[in-house]
Amino acid sequence: MAERLPTEQLLGLYEDMLRVRFFEEKIDQELFPAGLIRGLTHLYIGQEATGVGVIRALEPQDYVLSTHRGHGHCLTRGSDPARIYAEILGRRDGLCRGKGGSMHLCDMSTNFVGANPVVGADIPIAAGLALACKYLESGAIAAVFFGDGAMNTGAFHESANLAALWKLPVFLICENNRYAISVSVERASAVTDLANRACAYGIWHETVDGMNVSAVYDAARRAVEVCRSHQQPVLLVANTYRFVGHYTKDTLRYRPPEEARDMFREHDPIHRAERDLADNCGLPMEALIGIRERVKREIDDAAAAALKSPPPPAEWALEDVYAADA
């Protein structure tokens, strides 16, 4: 069992999770209902411990790839929340000039190569980045998030085999939130212990409680160490849960209503970190409240700034299709 994290470190992870939670709640409760967001938006509420625990175990030079549920990854990696909001709102100051939106965030200033909403498509791209890291001897690794649904794609299996065969430093992170939209793992996968998939390719693997940020951070650090120093792929399966729908309009008919309620009551990663900080680290409740208020203000300000950004000019649509010759 892992040693308890130093208070300072746990506080950092807690604050990161809060930032993601508040960021997403603002979308869920204000921006989307107000009709300010077009199309599809997939929220990370409930899964914060996984993204935060993994990303904090990485180095700045490492690449991060994500999925359609990528706001939290992008934010935790260090992007300006105002620019993420601006992108999600389709504004001029968005990270991707308003061309990507919620599902295609990208910020190369933090090596956040991007969210990729074609399920499984990010995995071979990550393997290719890892190939380059190894070939160019950059010392970096490529960390790629995907869901339980992506485990059933050919892209996962082809990439896992190749990464193992070629000993590529790619960190595979399966966020098993139990449902691929509406289809549960039990209804989609012949083997429900998803880490077993790694055995077929001889890949180092571990399964972790994805609702416990300390445990995720700890497991991720082990995985990163193996990945980087041994130059080989690793798989971390984080068992987690999304408290909200697959996307903002989800009817949630496929899971019992009490399931999310019970998961929230008993396994909310933020409550858990708070309890840990209060009970085990002896932090006074006022300190935690102070952090909450500060992070909440930060998110409010970011959203307000993004809302001031104008829509992009229509003509931008024809830019960035091709790179100019060097």
Residues in contact with another protein by CB under 8 A are: 63, 94-100, 104, 106-108, 113-114, 116, 118, 121, 123-133, 135-136, 138, 142, 154-155, 158-159, 161-162, 165-166, 319-326
Q: Which is nearer to another protein, 132 or 252 (CB)?
A: 132
- DSSP-assigned letters across all residues of 95-120: TTTTSS-GGG--BGGGTEEEEE-STT
Q: Which is nearer to another protein, 1 or 136 (CB)?
A: 136
Q: Taking the complex as a whole, how short is the minimal distance between the CB of residue 101 and another protein, in angstroms? A: 8
Beta-strand pair 63-67/112-116: parallel
Q: Taking the complex as a whole, how short is the minimal distance between the CB of residue 217 and another protein, in angstroms? A: 26
Beta-strand pair 63-67/142-147: parallel
Q: Taking the complex as a whole, how short is the minimal distance between the CB of residue 26 and another protein, in angstroms? A: 23
Q: Are 304 and 81 in contact (CB under 8 A)?
A: no
Q: In b/e form, how buried is each residue of 81-103, taking b as 16+ CB within 10 angstroms?
A: bbbbbbbbbbbebbbbbbbbbbb
**Nearest residue to 128 (alpha-carbon basis) of 73, 187, 169:** 169
Q: Taking the complex as a whole, how short is the minimal distance between the CB of residue 200 and another protein, in angstroms? A: 14
Q: Which is nearer to another protein, 107 or 218 (CB)?
A: 107
Q: Which is nearer to another protein, 130 or 208 (CB)?
A: 130
How many other C-beta atoms are found inside a 10 Å radius of the C-beta of residue 223? 25
What sections of 89-212 are H helices per DSSP?
A: 122-135, 154-165, 185-188, 196-199
Q: Taking the complex as a whole, how short is the minimal distance between the CB of residue 62 and another protein, in angstroms? A: 11
